[in-house]
Amino acid sequence: MHSQSQNSQAQNSQTLPSDRAGTTAAPAVYRAAWILPISQPVIQDGFLRVVDGVVIEVGRFDRGDQAAANCIDLGKVAVLPKMVNAHTHLEFSDCPVPIGEPGVPLSAWIGQVIAARGVGTGEQRNAAIELGLQECIQAGTAMIGDIATSPSAYPLMDPSNPVPAVVSFAEVLGLNPPRSEERFDAALEQFKTLQPAGCPAPAISPHAPYSTPWPLIKRCVQQAKQWACALAMHVCESPDERELLETGTGPFAETLQAAGLWMPGLFPWSGSQVVVDLIKLLAQAPRALLVHGNDLQPDEIDAISGHGNLSVVYCPRTHHFFQHRKHPVAQLLGSGVNVALGTDSRASNPDLSLWKEVQFLFKHRQDLSPLAVLEMATLNGALALGGGQQAVSEVGLGGHLSGGAGQIMERRSRLAELAMVPTSAVNLDQLWSDFAEFPLQDLASVGCN
């Protein structure tokens, strides 16, 4: 890393305008050493033109531009979109440290989580969600995919300033019929509660193959189709899960039997390609996120790549915590699969910083290109959750804008969705080196030249 004093260089008494819509201000021009739109090539010595908190133009800085004399120079920083955390469980945000020891088998860890957490109240759950939201905001997160036990509330959510945007996946699980019915009905009620406001956006999540019977997964897919919403499911977390589905034996079977949760006839699943069959079922939803995918095999990756509405969410540091074998993320990307990144929860990760997931990959997965890692952390996550697709035709006319998360795009992106990293890089290799080392800062809350 090259030494620098970027933090001080990025600050002075001037501040960025607020992201409050309703009044039309004169355009403001911001200059930065680097701008990473994500959906467009990297720009060295670039500018952003902003009106009422909305980016209306992005490009290379022209010293001859009439507005250049009055521009605000951010200095030695790289401007990029805030992160998209495509998978977490905010209700575990009160965990001070991960539960269990590194390398613990997944089936054993789940039992440890149940024992450690007990049965919490709705008030405790909502308080933990608020803690998690605050942490995500501090970590520079623009959008979150949250798996939630119903009912759940999001105390910080403000429709007038929806950053971070949240997609709340109501979790459905239960191997015995009474439990599965109770959780499915609770998910329906959660949708009715969230849907009128649309903030957070409601969605549904059949938990995992080892906790959710095939008929219940089908009901969740049908419900996602009826609601026209996203669906998320933990899939291929470990080889033990595959053993349960294919043979009805192994550590998961033993854990379920010991806990008194084993239901005769549920496992093994029928068919010779049970995971491929599951992928085909999930692909019937309008949009589906396959979370983790640690144990995906080549034929299953091929099956996923055949469906443009499917995404895989890779959680690097949680994957490392469980000491799984090398994640097939490179094969997924090579097959054209949309791969997003998530932190998972504080039950398996020390924090909820998606930027630290990026830095982990920069250091430990150098077979992945830095731009591919940044795409997974931003635009790919937004696309997986349903953002990044809707343009806005006018600026500064009130209301909140959608579709700008995960990229810097004219008339879509808001200043509140952007962040910056201090850097004195003069080339891309130095820039990636700084990204691996330095923190993500909130562009809208840091003073600038």
- Domains (ranges, CATH) in the chain? 6-81+393-445 (2.30.40.10), 83-368 (3.20.20.140)
Per-residue pLDDT tens digits for 308-351:
999 999 999 999 999 999 999 999 999 999 999 999 999 999 99
Provide the pLDDT for residue 25: 65
pLDDT at 27: 82
- pTM for the model stands at 0.91
What's the pLDDT at 8? 36
Residue 67's pLDDT is: 64
Q: How high is the pLDDT of residue 392? A: 30
pLDDT, position 393? 29
Which pLDDT value is given to residue 193?
86
Q: Over the stretch 398-414, which tens digit does the pLDDT of each residue have?
A: 233 346 689 998 888 89
Q: 399 exposed, middle or buried (CB, 10 Å; 0-12, 13-18, 19+)?
A: exposed
pLDDT of residue 195: 73
Number of other CB atoms surrounding residue 195 within 10 Å:
12
**pLDDT confidence bin for 11, thresholds 50/70/90:** very low
Please tell me the distance from the alpha carbon of residue 342 to that of residue 134, in angstroms, as a whole number: 17
Residue 199 pLDDT > 90: no
Q: Is the pLDDT of residue 161 over 80?
A: no
- In this prediction, residue 64 has a pLDDT band, given cuts at 50, 70 and 90, of low
| Confidence at residue 160, expressed as pLDDT on a 0 to 100 scale | 65
Q: In the predicted model, what is the mean pLDDT of residues 212-225?
A: 98
| Among 434, 427, 294, 424, residue whose Cα is nearest residue 10 | 424
> Above 90 in pLDDT, residue 257?
yes
* pLDDT above 70 (res 391): no
Q: What is the mean pLDDT of the chain?
A: 88
Query: Which of 60-69, 79-88, 239-248, 338-347 is the least confident region?
Result: 60-69
